Amino acid sequence: MILIYAYGAGLGHLKRVSDFIISEKIFPEDCLILTNSKYSDFWQNKWKIISIEPFIFKNPQLFFTFFQEIESRYTIEKFIVDTFPLGFHGELKECIKQFKNEKILLARILSKHYFEKYSESFYYSTIYIIEKGIYYPAKFAEKIKPYQLKYYVKEKEIPKNLNFPFFLIIHSQPLSEVIYLYKLADMYRTNQKIVILTMEKATTPFWDCTNTYIFYTTQTALNFIKRAEKIFSGCGFNTMRLLSEWENKCLFIPFPRTYDDQFLRKDNYLHMNSNFIID
């Protein structure tokens, strides 16, 4: 079995490891996913999800005990870790040290604060650099190499009643950021309506019901992206790699995160893609 660590309350980490598994042609029935995401039903039935309460992740000793229980129940041949080399709360320190089989890290941008807080050394079999802007010295892995992670997206038909010009907002959560992007799009629009793709449901409307359509979904509709006149989103890793093909109509806003550095990602894209519009 392959054990996968995908810490994060949202969908981003699950999406990233899902794309990696598809790219590597790994059978989903061979995978166990450790996550605290409330969107774990994003996975197909063949993926085995082990949902863990947040307090277990926050307690390294308790997490290691849980990790040992998994090892005793399943034959774990490979351990894949998304983003956080020592875990979001440092809970992987002992796991990485004690696990003797293949260990893989999917490395995207992390803030300096993470490495200041968790400065202990670690050693992986392979570190895949899936984004520019992150660097690991050779002492941390047997192999360190770049990896082009493809974004797998499903085609989805646009409802027939959306036969008008529109601006598109793609942002899963939190709601406060969705509202910010909506207000920004509303300032830009003239005759366009606004379409929002999100996972965060609002208890009270924050939108103009005559000019706004909201779809609560975990799947990004490619046809919405193609049809939109302008696209508004944050600077998350998954979103920016999805939208790179439509860079001339994207407006990205970096939002603060605990360990992700969306401002660094913004700067990287400005240097690499002159057509990106980033406020």
Shared domain check, 10 and 134: yes
Q: Is 191 inside any structural domain?
A: yes
Number of domains in the chain: 2
Q: Is 124 inside any structural domain?
A: yes
Per-residue pLDDT, averaged over 153-162, amounts to 71
Shared domain check, 51 and 6: yes
Q: Is 29 inside any structural domain?
A: yes
Q: Is 11 inside any structural domain?
A: yes
- The residue with greater pLDDT, 92 or 47, is 92
Q: Report the mean per-residue pLDDT for the chain.
A: 89
CATH of the domain at 257: 3.40.50.2000
Q: Residue 162 is encoded by which pair of tokens?
A: 């959306």
Q: Is 92 inside any structural domain?
A: yes
- What band does 274 get if pLDDT is binned at 50, 70 and 90? very low
Share of the chain above pLDDT 90, in %: 63
Shared domain check, 233 and 97: no
- The residue with greater pLDDT, 122 or 269, is 122
pLDDT at 33: 93
Shared domain check, 272 and 239: yes
Q: In the predicted model, is pLDDT for residue 132 greater than 60?
A: yes
Shared domain check, 170 and 134: no
Q: In the predicted model, is pLDDT for residue 279 greater than 80?
A: no
- DSSP, res 247: G
Range of the domain at 61: 2-146
Read off the pLDDT of residues 62-91 as tens digits, 9 standing for 90 and up.
999 999 999 999 999 999 999 999 999 999
Residues 6+ apart with CB under 8 A from 188: 167, 230, 251
Shared domain check, 269 and 219: yes
Last residue of a domain, one of 146, 175, 195: 146
pLDDT at 92: 97
Three-state SS sequence of 60-84: HHHHHHHHHHHHHHCCCCEEEEECC
CATH of the domain at 34: 3.40.50.11930
How many Cβ atoms from other residues are within 10 Å of residue 154's Cβ? 8
Q: Is 152 inside any structural domain?
A: no
Minimal CA–CA distance to 202: which of 178, 186, 224? 178
Shared domain check, 197 and 133: no
Spacing of C-alpha 195 from chain mean position: 22
Q: Is 154 inside any structural domain?
A: no
Compute the distance between CA of residue 16 and CA of residue 82 in angstroms, rounded to an integer.
Answer: 8
Q: Is 99 inside any structural domain?
A: yes
Last residue of a domain, one of 86, 112, 146: 146
DSSP 27-63: -GGGEEEEE--TTGGGS-TTSEEEE--HHHHT-HHHH
Compute the distance between CA of residue 218 and CA of residue 69 in angstroms, rounded to an integer.
Answer: 31
Considering the entire predicted model, what is its pTM?
A: 0.89
Q: Are 175 and 202 in contact (CB under 8 A)?
A: yes
- Is residue 107 helix, strand or coil? strand
pLDDT at 24: 96
HSE (side-chain half, CA atoms, 13 Å) at 124: 26
Per-residue pLDDT, averaged over 161-174, amounts to 90
Read off the pLDDT of residues 252-264 as tens digits, 9 standing for 90 and up.
999 999 999 999 9
Q: What is the largest CA-CA distance in the chain?
A: 61
Is residue 87 packed enough to be buried (19+ CB in 10 Å), middle (13-18) or exposed (0-12)?
A: buried
- Is residue 187 helix, strand or coil? helix
